[in-house]
Amino acid sequence: MTTIAAVAAWEALDSRGKPTVAVAVTLDDGSRATALAPSGASAGSHEARELRDGGHRYRGAGVRQAVNHVIDRIAPRVVGADADEPADIDALLVTLDPRADLGDLGANAVLAVSLATWRAVARRRGSLARLLQPEGALLLPMPMVNVVSGGAHAGRLIDIQDVLVIPNGAPDFATALEWASRVRAEAAVLAQEHGYETAVLVADEGGLGLPLPGNRAALQLVADAIERAGLEPGRDASIALDLAATQLVRDGLYELAGEGRRLDSAALVAEVAEWADAFPILSVEDLLGEDDWEGWSLATATLGDRVRLVGDDLFVTDPRRVERGILDRAANAVLIKVNQSGTVSGAFAALTRARAAGWDTIVSARSGDTEQSWLADLAVGWSAGQIKVGSTHRSERTAKWNRLLELEATEKTVFARSPMGVRR
């Protein structure tokens, strides 16, 4: 039996300079690991609730209360507990908070303890990926790489939050990453040729933040960049979008502010269907808002046979919401963010529920992330098939890409199939 011997916690900083909870878990055999909680900007209201201090420190974003909850309320309950199965620690953790959304202890406190426990136990198995999948070839995920950023990640320069590239024709992970990087580089050169001198600056997730005239201009830029990269649109590389539409809702309509238009759900679905006719779009995330179940069902009936429809704020990595989505045919893929759930096991439960329905599963970073690379190990260990980390710039993003490159170079691996079954 392995037990937890000590838990330490402190306030650290994430990639946006905002405080985050850091935890170190030490096991009785001396294995020790740290974990830092990530944090979103376009967070859904149904997510597990992180705790922020308010007041003057860090403009209210301090996490000293959450840190103190780890030290005073969580550590006394988990020290001495059997950690042979880290899922048992997760099951214990969720009983410690009287609130289902973990907002009393703080989901940032709970998640950091959960993750640090998994990582400490993984030390004895070589890696977190190998703890989760001890035998056989590891499945490396297809990357989704941010090229143009908008919405809450880039000062709302365009309405769409992410325009990404999926190198869906690449034969292996390293090639996929190189193709994606090439598309991003060509998009930057093209943007500068079009007079956008700020194309050298990077947004929260490392993508280009450009004051483009509208959403279609962003799609055109990425489509042109794919061709300029010498790749065949659709066959080698395709476009993915995250509308983060919960953020667009104004007075019950979806506002495309950059274009001065307000659309109802049906009109927004029709608009995106036009984009999908004109551009090689393979995947659309959060096309509709977090509670617009009818709109989601309409989108899936309209577009679901040719576009992967990914629920992020809709499902918030909650197996019960995924269950409803399956019954309502309200999407055909799920985004998995561990901090939406609050524990590693909770996130895995959402992933397995979606997978059992035949859905694609995409493990995702947050816009406020950290230098840690455990997300890559989770995506691989869970055989998620897809990963979304932001762009190829900024170290908190490359930490995950570099970990996947390391796994490809040092482990027996296979590379994921393309989304929507598009053949390579």
Distance of alpha carbon 328 from alpha carbon 345, whole angstroms: 25
323 as an active site residue: the answer is: no
Strands 4-13 and 19-27: antiparallel
Part of the chain binding ligand PGA (CB under 6 A), chosen from 41-49, 102-110, 273-281, 348-356: 41-49
Catalytically annotated residue among 50, 186, 205, 285: 205
**Nearer CB in complex with Zn ion: 149/383:** 149
Please report, as ranges, the residues that interact with Zn ion according to CB under 5 A.
242, 285-286, 312
Distance of alpha carbon 324 from alpha carbon 9, whole angstroms: 37
**Nearer CB in complex with ligand PGA: 117/340:** 340
Q: Largest Cα–Cα distance of the chain, in whole Å?
A: 63
14 binds ligand PGA (CB under 6 A): no
Residues with Cβ < 8 Å from 244, sequence gap 6 or more? 42, 151, 152, 160, 161, 162, 285, 286, 312, 313
Total residues interacting with ligand PGA, rule: CB under 6 A: 12
What CA–CA distances, in Å, run from 275 to 105, 156, 272?
Answer: 43, 20, 5
Q: In the stretch 89-128, what mask flags binding to ligand PGA with x, by CB under 6 A? A: ----------------------------------------
Query: Strand pairing partners for 149?
Result: 162, 209
312 binds ligand PGA (CB under 6 A): yes
**Nearer CB in complex with ligand PGA: 317/367:** 367
Q: Which of residues 356-415 bind ligand PGA (CB under 6 A)?
A: 364, 366-367
Interacting residue with ligand PGA among 14, 90, 97, 242 (CB under 6 A):
242
Catalytically annotated residue among 337, 388, 396, 400: 337
User: Among all residues, whose Cβ is closest to Zn ion?
Assistant: 312
Helix (H, G, I), strand (E, B) or coil at 107: helix
- List the single partner that 186 binds among ligand PGA, Zn ion, none, CB under 5 to 8 Å by kind: none
**Nearer CB in complex with ligand PGA: 78/316:** 316
What CA–CA distances, in Å, run from 215 to 121, 182, 256, 276, 333?
Answer: 45, 22, 9, 13, 23
Amino acid at residue number 9: A
Interacting residue with ligand PGA among 34, 42, 127, 370 (CB under 6 A):
42
What CA–CA distances, in Å, run from 320 to 316, 327, 352?
Answer: 10, 11, 12
205 as an active site residue: the answer is: yes
Residue labelled with tokens 């996490």: 63
**Nearer CB in complex with ligand PGA: 14/236:** 14
> Which residues are identified as catalytic?
205, 337
Residues that bind ligand PGA (CB under 6 A): 40-43, 152, 161, 242, 244, 312, 364, 366-367
